[in-house]
A and B are shown apart, each in its own frame.
Chain A
Amino acid sequence: MSQGILVFIEQRNGQIRKASLEALCEAQKHAGLSGGSVTALIIGENVKGLTAEVGKYNPTKILVADGAEFGSYSAEAYTEALAEAVKKTDPRFVFAAQTAMARDFLPRAAARCDAPVISDVMSFIVDGDKLGPVRPMYSGKCFGQYEINSPLAFITVRPNVFPVSAPDASAAPAVEDLAIKPENIRAKVVETHKSEGSKIELSEASIVVAGGRGIKGPENWGVLEELCDALGAALAASRAVVDAGWIDHQHQVGQTGKVVSPQLYIACGISGAIQHLAGMSSSKVIVAINKDAEAPIFKHATYGVVGDIFEVVPKLTAEIKNLQNN
Chain B
Amino acid sequence: MKIAVCVKSVPDTETKISIAADKKNIELNGVRFITSPFDEFAIEEAIKLKEKNGGETVAISVGGKEVTDVLRDSLARGIDSAVHVDDPDLTWLDPLSTAKVLAAAIKDGGYDVVLCGQQGVGGDNSQVPSILAELLNIPQVTLVVKLEIDGTKFRAEREIEGAHEFVEGSLPAVFSAQKGLNEPRYPSIKGVMAARRKEIAVKNAEALGIKGTVGGDNRKVVIKEMTLPPDRGQGRRLEGDVDAQVKTLVDLLRKEAHVI
Whether A255 pairs with B226 at a CB distance below 8 angstroms is: no
Residues of B contacting A115 with CB < 8 Å?
A: 96, 220
Binds B, one of A20-28, A50-58, A281-289: A281-289
Whether A312 pairs with B169 at a CB distance below 8 angstroms is: no
Binds B, one of A59-67, A84-92, A186-194: A186-194
Asked if B68 CB lies within 8 Å of chain A CBs, one says no
- CB contact list, B165-203 vs A, under 8 A: 165-170, 173, 178-180
Residues of A contacting B143 with CB < 8 Å?
A: 100, 103-104
Whether B139 pairs with A75 at a CB distance below 8 angstroms is: yes
Asked if A220 CB lies within 8 Å of chain B CBs, one says no
Residues of A contacting B138 with CB < 8 Å?
A: 186
Whether B235 pairs with A186 at a CB distance below 8 angstroms is: no
Residues of B contacting A153 with CB < 8 Å?
A: 220-221
Asked if A46 CB lies within 8 Å of chain B CBs, one says no
**Bound: A207/B65 CA distance, A:** 44
A152 to chain B, nearest CB (A): 9
Contact of B223 among A144, A189, A285 (CB under 8 A): A144
The 0/1 profile, CB within 8 Å of A marked 1, for residues 131-150 of chain B is: 10111001111110100000
Whether B221 pairs with A110 at a CB distance below 8 angstroms is: no
**Bound: A192/B160 CA distance, A:** 9
Whether A303 pairs with B249 at a CB distance below 8 angstroms is: yes
Asked if A315 CB lies within 8 Å of chain B CBs, one says yes
Chain B CB within 10 Å — which of A114, A191, A201 has the most?
A: A191
**Bound: A137/B122 CA distance, A:** 6
Whether A186 pairs with B236 at a CB distance below 8 angstroms is: no
Residues of A contacting B123 with CB < 8 Å?
A: 137
Whether A142 pairs with B222 at a CB distance below 8 angstroms is: no
Whether B127 pairs with A140 at a CB distance below 8 angstroms is: no
Residues of A contacting B163 with CB < 8 Å?
A: 192-195
Whether B158 pairs with A255 at a CB distance below 8 angstroms is: no
- With contacts A99-B161, A110-B131, A116-B221 taken as known, whether A191 is within 8 angstroms of B166 at the C-beta atoms is yes
Chain A CB within 10 Å — which of B168, B232, B245, B253 has the most?
A: B253
Residues of B contacting A207 with CB < 8 Å?
A: 259-260
**Bound: A102/B178 CA distance, A:** 16
Whether B257 pairs with A264 at a CB distance below 8 angstroms is: yes
Contacts across chains A and B counted by CB atoms under 8 Å: 267
Whether B162 pairs with A190 at a CB distance below 8 angstroms is: no
Asked if B208 CB lies within 8 Å of chain A CBs, one says no
Contact of B164 among A99, A101, A119, A195 (CB under 8 A): A195
- With contacts A138-B122, A187-B140, A192-B166 taken as known, whether A264 is within 8 angstroms of B253 at the C-beta atoms is yes
Asked if B224 CB lies within 8 Å of chain A CBs, one says yes
The 0/1 profile, CB within 8 Å of B marked 1, for residues 235-253 of chain A is: 0000000100000111010
**Bound: A242/B123 CA distance, A:** 23
Whether A303 pairs with B227 at a CB distance below 8 angstroms is: no
For chain B, give the interface size range.
Answer: 35 or more
Binds A, one of B10-18, B42-50, B82-90, B106-114: B10-18
Residues of B contacting A193 with CB < 8 Å?
A: 163-166
Chain B CB within 10 Å — which of A110, A201, A281 has the most?
A: A110
The 0/1 profile, CB within 8 Å of B marked 1, for residues 297-318 of chain A is: 0111111111100011001100
Whether B220 pairs with A138 at a CB distance below 8 angstroms is: no
Residues of A contacting B223 with CB < 8 Å?
A: 144-147
Whether B169 pairs with A186 at a CB distance below 8 angstroms is: yes
Asked if A216 CB lies within 8 Å of chain B CBs, one says no
The 0/1 profile, CB within 8 Å of B marked 1, for residues 174-203 of chain A is: 000000000000111111111100110101
Residues of A within 8 Å of B, CB-based: how many? 94
**Bound: A146/B167 CA distance, A:** 34
Whether B243 pairs with A117 at a CB distance below 8 angstroms is: no
Asked if A11 CB lies within 8 Å of chain B CBs, one says no
Whether B227 pairs with A142 at a CB distance below 8 angstroms is: yes
Whether A103 pairs with B142 at a CB distance below 8 angstroms is: yes
Which residue of chain B has the shortest Cβ distance to A206 in the bound complex? B259
- With contacts A186-B170, A298-B237 taken as known, whether A73 is within 8 angstroms of B165 at the C-beta atoms is yes
Question: Please, could you name 24 A-B residue pairs with CB atoms under 8 Å apart, sorted by A?
Answer: A100-B142, A104-B158, A107-B130, A108-B133, A110-B96, A116-B94, A137-B123, A141-B228, A145-B226, A149-B220, A187-B167, A189-B165, A189-B166, A249-B180, A255-B13, A264-B253, A274-B13, A285-B259, A286-B235, A287-B249, A301-B235, A303-B238, A319-B246, A323-B250
Told that A146-B221, A193-B166 touch, could you supply 16 new A-B pairs with CB distance under 8 A?
A: A103-B127, A108-B133, A111-B96, A137-B122, A138-B121, A138-B124, A139-B121, A142-B19, A144-B225, A187-B139, A193-B163, A199-B162, A203-B161, A248-B180, A250-B159, A319-B250
Q: Could you list which residues of chain B lie within 8 angstroms of chain A, going by C-beta atoms?
A: 11, 13-17, 19, 26, 37-38, 94-96, 99, 121-128, 130-131, 133-135, 138-143, 145, 154-155, 158-170, 173, 178-180, 219-229, 232, 235-238, 242-243, 245-247, 249-250, 252-254, 257, 259-260
Q: Could you list which residues of chain A lie within 8 angstroms of chain B, going by C-beta atoms?
A: 73, 75-76, 79, 99-101, 103-108, 110-112, 114-120, 132, 136-150, 153, 186-195, 198-199, 201, 203-204, 207, 231, 242, 248-250, 252, 255-257, 259, 263-264, 274-275, 281-282, 284-288, 298-307, 311-312, 315-316, 319-320, 323
